[in-house]
A = this chain, B = another copy of it.
Amino acid sequence: MQDIDNLGTARSLLAWDQRTQMPPQGAGVRAGQIATLSRIYHEMFTSETTARLIEEAANEVNGADYESDEASLIRLVQRDYEDATKLPTDFVKRMSELTSRGQQVWAKARAEKDFVQFQPVLEQLIDMTLEEAALRGYDDHPYDALLDQFDRDLKTADVKAIFDTHKPALIDLIAAVSEQQDRVDDSCLHQHFDIDQQRAFALDVVKAFGFDFERGRQDTTVHPFAMSMSRYDTRITTRFNDDFLNPALFGMMHEAGHGMHGQGFSDEIDCTPLAGGGARGYSMSVAESQSRTWENLVGRSRGFWQWAFPKLQAAFPGQFDDVDLDTFYGAVNRVQPSLIRVEADEATYNLHIMVRFELELELVSGSLKVADLPDAWNAKYQDFLGIIPPDAALGVLQDVHWSSGAIGYFPTYALGNLLAVQYYNKALQDHPSIPDEIAAGKFDTLLKWQTEHIHQHGRKFNADEMTRRVTGEGMQSQDYIAYLQAKYSDIYGLS
């Protein structure tokens, strides 16, 4: 298993290098290297030897505590093995070819704002996704098999219930805020900001959070990401925008949140399939909750800016002289229904996800035809957010996910927002001093709590197990709604 994990993380390094360091013409060779490592990984993992070793180990650990490293490793690896052997090689190859073509066609269609070009590929992708769901198997809904790839054991019915529960509250909240939108002015975030100064300030912030640069590094990419090969080698990347402060600053907090998660795996599970951040079967919802905690619950809190705003003023001399803390705090929390998911604020974000989830479900169920997708998309944006995309690039073609075959991924983003608040509330219950500490630039109590309750376990637990273990209850949206209502009542003076 350690050899297999080493192969997997070596492949991760090849991917990291491809996105951060590789010379422009190195892509062809790199694809070959990654394909070789992937093939050997798959062959080693699905070999009869591995099956026998897993079976023997399962007999050995039989009776061990469910939460023990040993029992958890075997439980996870048995599921991984089932997953890896369910799809025939021919299907994997066809799917890989289709998604590779899909992404090319999508990129061109988006550039030309022309959904019709993408339509036939998306139709094929939906068909193959249904084929995949059948191969993987499911009890109630084919979409269950899709969710399971990104969040093991997550069920469509549960996602639907939790989304339906908080959708009206979000819509109401946004309506209330929009009546008070003059109360917030975020023009101070839209200035020219020197990129080296942005980097230095954001690095200081994530160092203070606790991202360990002895065990990690930060680089620049167009599409930011975090990658943990081990708790001792966890890397994050950042996108810089020279006339908008948010992408680099809150983006680096977000990726550092993922990064600290990866740096928090226990030594016992590091470099085993139990760690494996980003591996199949990992809970993407739990992962997202950790990045959102640092980006939003800490990084967009008033307390944090009590500590950080004077430092920001010093880092950008003259640029925030006329801005006070309240104005700045309002600015970074401005609510604005927009067309683009990745730029969405905390109030609107989950509605963007619900649009996609509902459409995916209709497509997979067959109640919506791909040809009708753009109209359905626009109708939902009108219903949920009150705005209609002017073209497909700003609408139905905005995300890469579908073209790459990632159907069932989107919900984890929204669930991550919910879990972030549920877990954070429990941390506050255990350590009521955390808000004051944050306002004093002290973040280790929170990080230590996360590490102890969440990070150290890697992917030992699915999202439901983790959530019940941490909070004593299942996923719910009440905490999130309460958090948003309190925050925006304060900022927007809602009654």
Q: Which residues of A contact B (CB under 8 A)?
A: 2-3, 6-7, 9-11, 13-14, 17, 21-26, 28-30, 32-33, 35-37, 39-40, 213-217, 229-230, 232-235, 270-271
Contact = CB atoms under 8 A, between A and B. Distances in A.
B271 A24 contact: no
Contacts of A233: 22-23, 25-26, 29-30
Given A6-B37, A29-B230, 15 more contacts: A2-B32, A6-B33, A7-B37, A7-B40, A9-B33, A10-B14, A13-B13, A23-B217, A23-B235, A24-B214, A24-B215, A25-B215, A26-B215, A28-B232, A29-B233
B271 A25 contact: no
A58 to B, nearest CB: 24
A415 B6 CA distance: 39
A222 B75 CA distance: 46
Task: State how many copies of this chain the complex holds.
Answer: 2
Interface centre among A10, A215, A216, A229 (most CB of B within 10 A): A10
B36 A6 contact: yes
Nearest to A40: B40
A36 to B, nearest CB: 4
Question: Main secondary structure on chain A at its contact with chain B?
Answer: helix
Contacts of A230: 26, 29
A3 B39 contact: yes
Contacts of A6: 32-33, 35-37
A229 B17 CA distance: 13
Contacts of A10: 10-11, 14, 33, 36-37
B232 A271 contact: no
Nearest to A232: B25
Given A26-B232, A233-B26, A13 B17 contact: yes
Nearest to A8: B33
B214 A36 contact: no
